[in-house]
Structure 1
Amino acid sequence: MNGFIRVIGGKWRGRKLPVLDNEGLRPTTDRVKETLFNWLMPVIHDANCLDCFAGSGSLGFEALSRGAKHATLLEKNRTAAQQLNKNKQLLQIQNGHILQTDTINWLASSADQKFDVVFVDPPFHHGLASKTIQRLETYDWLSNGAYIYVETEQNGLLSRDVPLNWTLHREKTTGQVHSYLFIRENA
C-alpha cells in the first residue's frame, strides 16, 4: 500500500481506502471530486453509474457513497482490480460490480444495460478518452439525459471527439487537468 483515497461525501464520508502506487494511476483530487459531485448532486441519487477507468475507485465509490443505485467499475490492471475488490469488501458494498477488463474492448459490443452517469478518466496521453466516448455512443451504453464526466490532460479532448447529441454542461481546468461534464440527448 502506498497511499489512500478519501471518500468526501455521503454515507462513507471521511473513510480512507488504501490504493496501490501504480504507474499511470492518478486518483482524482479531493478538490476536483468535490466540484464534480456538486455538479452531479441533482442526478447521482438512484443513478446507474459506470466508472470506465476505475483505477483507485475514487469516483465509483464516491458515487455509491452519495446514493447511486449501482456502479460498475472497469479496471484493466489486475493488481488495481484486486485492490478495488478489497475496498468493496471493506465498505461492504452490495450494489457495486468490479470487472478486471479492458474498457475499450468491453464497450465494443451492444449494450446490455444503460448508464445514467459515466466517468471517463483514462490514463493520459493514450487517446483513450475519445475512443471511449465513441464506443459509449456507438454501442448505445447511455440513457437519454445521461451525464458523462470526462477528465483529460490539457488539449486532450477535441470538439470533433464529442458526439453532436452531447451538450457541454460544465467544464473546469485545474493545473494540467481539464474536466468536462456533458449531458446526452437522444441522437
Structure 2
Amino acid sequence: MKIVSGTYGGRPLKTLEGKTTRPTSDKVRGAMFNMIGPYFDGGRVLDLYAGSGGLSIEAVSRGMEQAVLVEKDRRAQGIIASNIQMTKESHKFQLLKMEAHQALSQLQGTFDLVFLDPPYAKEQIVADIEALAERDLLGEEVMVVCETDKAVDLPEEIACLGIWKEKIYGISKVTVYVR
C-alpha cells in the first residue's frame, strides 16, 4: 500500500498483518478522495478507527493541516507511528492510544473531515455521529465518510447530517454525510 496523491504521494504505507484491522485499499482510498475532494485547503481530520493511519495521512497529503488518529490496538499504534514518521511532518499528526468512545469524551475543537470505519458498523456509526454532534465536534462544512460492508444500510439522516453521496467499491460501501 502507498499514499495515492498529494505531498506524500507514492510513499509506502505499512499495514498490520492479520485480521485485526482492514486497511482501505489504494484503489478504494483513491476513489474515496475523488468523491470528497480530491484536495483540501486546510482543515482538521479525525480518524476514529485509524488502523494503519492511511486515510488521515492521505488527507494531510492532500491539503488537510492537522490529523487526529484514534486507535486502541497496540500493534496498530506502532504501525501508525511508523507511517506518521514516513511523512517527515509528525507535528501535523496526533495519535490517541485509546478506545473511540474514550477519545470522543476528550476531543476538543471542530473537525472538517471525519473517517468512520468501525469494526461493527451500523450501530457504532450512528452512535459516533450522534456523539460528535452532541459534543460540537463537527465543523460547519464537515464531511463524515463512513466505510462499511456493502450490505450495511445506514440511515438517511443521523443527528444534524444527511447522506450526500454513497458508492459501492467491490465489497465496501462508502457513505458520505454532510450538514
TM superposition score normalised by structure 2:
0.89
Query: Residues 2-47 of structure 1, C-alpha deviation per residue, up to 9 Å, x if partnerless?
Result: xxx2100001111112222142311112222112211222663202
Residue 66 (structure 1) aligns with: 62
Aligned with 1:98 (options 87, 95, 100) = 95
Q: Structure 2: how far apart are the matches of 1:49 and 1:124?
A: 22
Aligned-residue Cα RMSD (Å) equals 2.0
Residue 170, structure 1, aligned to residue 170, structure 2 = no
| Superposed structure 1 runs of 4+ greater than 6 Å apart | none
Residue 15, structure 1, aligned to residue 11, structure 2 = yes
Residue 142 (structure 2) aligns with: 146
Residue 120 (structure 1) aligns with: 116
Give the C-alpha shift of residue 105 in structure 1.
Answer: 2.2
TM superposition score normalised by structure 1:
0.86
Aligned residues: 178
Residue 144 of structure 1 aligns to a residue in which SS?
strand
Instruction: Report if the CA contact (8 A) 1:9-1:66 is conserved.
Output: yes
Aligned with 1:85 (options 81, 87, 90) = 81
Can you give the 5+ residue segments of structure 1 that lack an aligned partner in the other structure? Answer: none
Distance 1:125 1:116, change over 3 A: closer
Aligned with 1:108 (options 105, 122, 133) = 105
Q: Structure 2: how far apart are the matches of 1:150 and 1:104?
A: 17
Can you give the 5+ residue segments of structure 2 that lack an aligned partner in the other structure? Answer: none
Give the C-alpha shift of residue 126 in structure 1.
Answer: 7.7
Give the C-alpha shift of residue 60 in structure 1.
Answer: 0.6
Instruction: Report if the CA contact (8 A) 2:47-2:115 is conserved.
Output: yes
> Identical aligned pairs, as a percentage?
30
Instruction: Report if the CA contact (8 A) 1:24-1:123 is conserved.
Output: no
Residue 183, structure 1, aligned to residue 178, structure 2 = yes
